[in-house]
């Protein structure tokens, strides 16, 4: 019955080898599977005769060999049932905002956090806070726009801590400025792309050989719901996140057999220092950094291909079902919410005044009726 598989030729052999690779079976094994060797210890016993050395019984040493193989040699040993306990997680942009909150949340789940950012003092404060609560964390000053810095940091982490399980690509830069006020600011587009896209790609490329060797790795990309909605005023920011989404989708299709996976989180607006210049000029309220960190934790634990919000899904559907209407709505948002003073190059006396305290609002997901959330889970690819 197995003969057609073992003796496959041409396209059938290609398909057979593809299936074997995805199961973690070397395709070459099919060429020798019919071999029936006999293993004996006669030669060894003869060589040891008269030396006082005796060949031990198989049952006395086999369990030890098996445990050593399972703990140190099994190529799939990195894949365990517990999602975060004892894991090693790199988080970029960990000095503030989503990255900082995510580092604290990940450490509370029992993982060891490698916090990366340019601000060394802020990282030291983060590590001190995590350790004060019994967590494990280490700070690494790193500029993701610098290839040498990324390469040095990754080598340092692997050299000192042996391995990395997860990467959270959170480091980012956002600029809210209309394109008519950006015609002489090409550098805005270049510097946002340098951090949001090329910085994340650098991190993945630096870790990919290590993950292929361990046959395990997972990346959580902090993307934006704006990629789905295509919000005006973000022509320098949203294309970088769209590019990162596409990069992750393409690479995920290539690394599936290596058990290297990706999650793109289409994050809603989050109350972080990055949005301070335009905090009063957004049509939706921002969620807290802690709520955003909970979405990151979900990406690490459940590993869906993407995590969306109901509003983002609705906007994406609208762009397909009613593109003209969607564009008119977005144009009204463009007209109704002008550029910030900083984006227009205007200096205001109250520009640096902190916002008045507000009562916390429920997140968009929490405000969705439970039956609707359950219905969303029935649709493949929708993760709210």
pLDDT of residue 353: 54
pTM above 0.85, yes or no: no
- Residues recognised as catalytic: 237
Check: CB of residue 137 under 8 Å from CB of residue 112.
Answer: yes
For the chain, the first-to-last Cα distance in angstroms comes to: 46
3-state secondary structure of 115: strand
In terms of DSSP H, where are the helices of the chain? 3-6, 10-22, 42-48, 58-68, 97-108, 120-132, 147-161, 186-193, 200-214, 226-229, 238-254, 289-302, 310-321, 323-336, 341-344, 370-377
Check: CB of residue 219 under 8 Å from CB of residue 267.
Answer: no
Cα–Cα dist 328/315, whole Å: 13
- Other CB atoms within 10 A of residue 142 CB: 29
Check: CB of residue 169 under 8 Å from CB of residue 244.
Answer: yes
Cα–Cα dist 311/286, whole Å: 13
Q: What is the mean pLDDT for each group of 10 consecutive residues in the chain (384 residues)?
A: 66 76 73 75 85 84 84 67 88 97 98 98 98 98 98 98 98 93 94 98 99 97 95 94 98 96 96 68 80 97 95 92 93 84 66 50 55 63 64
DSSP assignment string, 226-272:
HHHH--TTBTTTHHHHHHHHHHHHHHHHHSGGGTEEEEEEEE--B-S
C-alpha count within 13 angstroms, C-beta hemisphere, residue 373 = 11
Q: Give me the CATH code for the 88-343+364-371 domain, please.
A: 3.40.50.720
The CA-based diameter of the chain, rounded to the nearest angstrom, is 97
| Conformational region of residue 50, where left means phi above 0, alpha means psi within -120 to 50, and beta covers everything else | left
Cα–Cα dist 163/379, whole Å: 36
Check: CB of residue 145 under 8 Å from CB of residue 250.
Answer: no
Domain residue spans in the chain?
88-343+364-371
């Amino acid at each position: 019955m197995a003969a057609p598989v073992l003796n496959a030729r041409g396209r059938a052999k290609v398909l057979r080898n593809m299936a074997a690779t995805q199961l973690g079976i070397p395709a070459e094994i099919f060429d020798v599977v019919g071999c029936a060797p006999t293993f004996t210890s006669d030669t060894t016993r003869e060589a040891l005769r008269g030396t006082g050395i005796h060949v031990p019984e198989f049952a006395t040493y086999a369990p030890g060999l098996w445990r050593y193989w399972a703990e140190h040699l099994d190529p799939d040993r990195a894949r365990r049932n517990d999602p975060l306990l004892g894991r090693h997680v790199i988080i970029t942009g960990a000095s503030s905002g989503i990255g900082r909150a995510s580092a604290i949340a990940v450490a509370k789940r029992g993982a060891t956090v490698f916090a990366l950012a340019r601000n060394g003092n802020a990282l030291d404060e983060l590590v001190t806070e995590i350790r004060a609560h019994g967590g494990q964390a280490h700070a690494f000053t790193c500029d993701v726009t610098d290839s040498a810095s990324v390469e040095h940091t990754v080598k340092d982490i692997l050299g000192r801590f042996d391995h990395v399980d997860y990467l959270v690509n959170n480091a980012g830069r956002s600029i809210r400025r209309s394109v008519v006020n950006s015609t002489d600011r090409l550098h805005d587009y270049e510097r946002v792309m340098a951090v949001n896209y090329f910085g994340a790609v650098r991190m993945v490329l630096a870790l990919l050989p290590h993950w292929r060797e361990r046959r395990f790795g997972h990346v959580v990309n902090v993307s934006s719901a704006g990629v789905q909605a295509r919000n005006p005023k973000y022509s320098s920011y949203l294309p970088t996140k769209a590019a990162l989404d596409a990069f992750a989708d393409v690479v995920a299709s290539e690394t599936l057999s290596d058990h290297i996976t990706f999650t793109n989180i289409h994050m809603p607006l989050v109350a972080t220092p990055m949005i301070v210049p335009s905090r009063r000029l957004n049509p939706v309220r921002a969620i807290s950094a802690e709520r955003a960190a909970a979405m990151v934790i979900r990406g690490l634990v459940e590993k869906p291909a993407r995590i969306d919000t109901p509003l983002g899904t609705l906007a994406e559907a609208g762009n397909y079902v009613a593109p003209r209407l969607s564009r008119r709505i977005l144009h009204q948002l463009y007209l109704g919410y002008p550029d910030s003073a900083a984006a227009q190059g205007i200096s205001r006396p109250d520009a640096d005044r902190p916002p008045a305290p507000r009562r916390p609002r429920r997140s968009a997901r929490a405000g969705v009726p439970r039956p609707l959330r359950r219905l969303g889970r029935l649709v493949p690819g929708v993760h709210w």
